[in-house]
Structures are given as structure tokens and as C-alpha cells.
Chains A and B, each alone.
Chain A
Amino acid sequence: MSVAEQSIAGAEARGHGFLASSVGRKVVMAATGVVLFGFVTVHMLGNTQAFMGSEAFNHYAEFLHSMLHGGGIWIFRAVLLASTLLHIWAAVTLTLDNRAARPVGYREQQPMASTWASRTMRWSGVILAAFIIYHLLHLTLGSVHPAFDHANPYSNFVKGFQVPAAAGFYIVAQLCLGLHMWHGVWSCTQTLGLAHPRFDACRRHFATGLTLLVVGVNISFPLAVLAGFIH
């Protein structure tokens, strides 16, 4: 088929929107990903107060809920929700595009550079989604919690993790988070055009460091409870 027989869409003929374009959606994915990782990191730091006993922890929760006369948390929830939904939307549409881009696969394909983490982003992502839902029902709404007490997040926290199955799922989820973060943090700098040979080495280290920190600390919570260290 000659090139002439196929259409070269002219610039205006396209009027191609940012969100419609593949790169645009990829940027959305990265930007929302940054918000989500930002949250997870801060969230992790906040939760460390659990080690300082019920006083500190409940006080911290209290503070969260009373920011801007209680409005703060809703603003922040809105941002979080929007980011997650946008992120998932981008993830799903792009994943479908990528599937369609190679209908017939290879009999043999040797991965040379891609990592297990990079190839499993969609799955680690899906598990994260499931986790988030469970997590909200568990510690925010309490519907799946053995002994939920709105007034006492600390005991919710402790009692919640005293159920080994729950603790176990948290731990698994954190490992997925780790996979997702390790590729994601590195990947989003590339997507947002922040990558540069001069910083490439630190990009990897930064991703690895942040991942280990967040995942490590997050896992320590259920473990600490199971070990009876937090009670």
C-alpha cells in the first residue's frame, strides 16, 4: 500500500486534545501517581505516631478530622479520590490501547531491560485498588472491622491488626505497593520529562529508597501489633 493512499491527519484536522492523546493520558497517570505516592508517604509518616501510643495517635487523627473546621479532610479526600479515579481511568484505557497495539504476540521474547515490576504494574495496581477499598471499609468506615469505635482510631488500628488474616492482607498489599512504587516513582520522572542523564543514577536510588522506607514502615505496623509491641 502506498503511503499516499493512507491519510496523514493534518494538524487542524485533528484538533487532538491532551486527554485524548496517549502521551497526555500517560502524563495524567504520572501526575496523579505523584499525588498518590505523596499521600502514601505522608500517610506513612503520620501513622508512625502509632508507636507513640494512643494519646498521640488519636490526637493526630483528631487533628486530621478538624483541619479547617473539618473541611480540610473533605478537600483532601476529594483530591485523593479524583486522583485515584483519573489514575485508574488512564491506566485502564492505556492498558487496553497497548493490548490492541500487539494483537499477535511473539513465540519468543527475551526481556532485556524491563523489570518484573514494570511488567506487572497493572496487577500491582489492581491489587492496590482492592486494598484501598478494603482499607477504607476496615479503618475508615469500620464495616469490616471486628470492634470498630469511631471515637478511638488507635484501638481500631490495634484491634484491626490483631486479626492475622487482615494483617496478612495488609502485608501482601504493601509488597504490591512496593512493586508499583519502585517502577512508578522512577517511571513518572521520565513521563513528566524530568529525566536527564545527569540524574539518572539518583532517580533509581531515589525510587528504591522511598519504596523501601514506605513499604518497610507500613509493614512494621501490622507486625508490631501481631508481636504485641503495639497494644
Chain B
Amino acid sequence: MSKHLNLTLHVWRQKNAKCDGKFVEYPAANISPDMSFLEMLDVVNEDLLRRGEDPITFDHDCREGICGTCSMVINGRPHGPKERTTTCQLHMRSFKDGDSITLEPWRAEAFPVIKDLMVDRGALDRIIAAGGFVSVPTGSPQDANALPIAKEKAELAMDAAACIGCGACVAACPNASAMLFLSAKVSHLGLLPQGQPERYTRVRDMVAQMDAEQFGTCTNHGECEIACPKGIKMENIARMNRDFIKASLTNRSVVS
């Protein structure tokens, strides 16, 4: 059992979307290094509750790095200092006794703050709804093995499909661009034969929805790639740009 930590938190508190928020300082006393980051916040919140104060609101669910719910910027990095690790999988041993930790919500026009560190990421769902799917009604597909897929292709598609929709890429991007998120879906489906029929309409529609949601554009800063807890690569953005150019050149609908 290594020794316990005493930390100071600077947390963004904001009652709701309308009020403006501010940073509030909280002590986090004797924290076990074995705790996960969220368990540390649980401890802080339990005290606040017992003192009848409003605990810090933050999104979380699975706490095993797969649901993509947890979302906070820790000391200027989405999901904190450990690469390829979500906030819920981050452990306190990544911090030193006496550290002070700044906690902020994802910041983007497309992600309005709901309360404290909780934001509304509905925009990502709407981007999927605009085209991030294969149109195959239940019962219609042929036998699963009727269509062999090269292992390498399947693996590449899986790499892209690993995206958990957390939005850290947007939070990290200096332009608040969602390109890494989009490109992960466009690549996942575009690499597979099942995704071919809608390959080009998909990328057009998803990009259009992304623009409608007020995300920024990619100027190839590469911050998203490093912040991504699932290691989604910028290579996907290049692939998506490729498809988008092709889609636009082959688009028969009159250009406005």
C-alpha cells in the first residue's frame, strides 16, 4: 500500500446551460493511489453531500473505458495525462501528492454545457443518424460467410470501429473539429464491402450534418489523435477527405 495523496481540485462549476460558470477550489484529502480518478471524485462528492452541498456533476457509466460517457479535461488534456486511457480508467497513481488538478468540461459550441462537467453530445448521434450506417433492414442480409473479407481490411475496419463516441477528439482539437470521429465511422463502413453502396452519399451527408452542428474544420493539428482513448488514427481523416473529394466530384445533384 503506497501512501495516500492530498490534492487540490479546481473544478468548473456551472448550474446549467443558461447561467455562466466559474472555477471552484476543493481539497481532495488522503486519496488512495489505487482509486480511479472517478472514485476520487466520488469521495469528494460524498463529503460535499454530507455537508449538504451540491456535488460535482460529471458524466460516467461503465467505468471500464468502453461506453464513452466519461468526459472531462484534466489539466488541459481530455481524459487526462495517460495516453489511450479514458477518465474512468485513469488511476490516481498517475498523480503526485500535493498536485493541483484543473477540471473543465469538453468545450465546443456543438457541446453545450448541461451542468458542471456534463455536456450535451447529441450532435454526434445526429451525425450518425445523417448517414453513419448501412441500410440493411432486419432479415434482409445473405449468409454471413457469403462474402469473404480480407483479414487486413477487417482489422483496419475494426481499428476504426473501436471509436467510443466520447468526443475527446473535439475537446482536444484547437478548432473543435469532429473530423476524427466522423472519419472513424466513414472508414469503418467504407473499408467493408457492406458499406460500399452508400459509401459516397454517407460521407457527404455526415459532413453536411457536422457543419450544421457548428463543429470546426480540421487544419491537421493532430491533437485529436493523441487525445483519443481508442487510438483512432489521423490516417482515417485522410481516407475520409479522399472519399469526400470523390463523392463531390461524382455528385449528380446540382451544386448550390
Contact = CB atoms under 8 A, between A and B. Distances in A.
B176 interface: yes
A187 to B, nearest CB: 4
Nearest to B109: A101
B223 interface: yes
B215 A101 contact: yes
A113 B226 contact: yes
Interface in A25-51: 25-27
Interface string B193-222: 000000001001101111110111111111
B93 to A, nearest CB: 20
B241 A23 contact: yes
B235 interface: yes
B239 interface: yes
Interface stretch (A4-12, A55-63, A146-154): A4-12
A11 B251 CA distance: 12
A112 B245 contact: no
A49 to B, nearest CB: 35
A197 B237 CA distance: 12
B221 A192 contact: no
Contact of B104 (A8, A98, A108, A193): A108
Which residue, A2, A7, A16, has most C-beta atoms of chain B within 10 A? A16
Contacts of A193: 238-245
Contacts of A111: 174, 223
A8 B120 contact: no
B73 interface: yes
A69 interface: no
A166 interface: no
Interface string A89-107: 0000010011011111111
Contact of B220 (A11, A12, A20, A187): A187
A100 B241 CA distance: 22
B253 interface: yes
B122 A106 contact: no
Interface residues of B, number: 64
Contact of A107 (B104, B174, B234): B104
A16 B208 contact: yes
Interface string A67-101: 00000000000000000000000000010011011
Contacts of A14: 205, 208, 212
Interface in A124-167: none
B234 to A, nearest CB: 7
Interface in B109-162: 109-110, 120, 122, 125-126, 129-131
Contact of B255 (A6, A17, A118): A17
Contacts of A202: none
Contact of A187 (B219, B223, B248): B219
Contact of A98 (B10, B120, B130, B175): B175
Nearest to A8: B129
A102 B216 contact: yes
B146 to A, nearest CB: 29
Contacts of A107: 10, 23, 102, 104
Given A11-B130, A98-B176, A98-B177, 11 more contacts: A8-B130, A11-B208, A18-B248, A18-B255, A98-B175, A101-B216, A102-B107, A106-B104, A107-B23, A119-B174, A196-B238
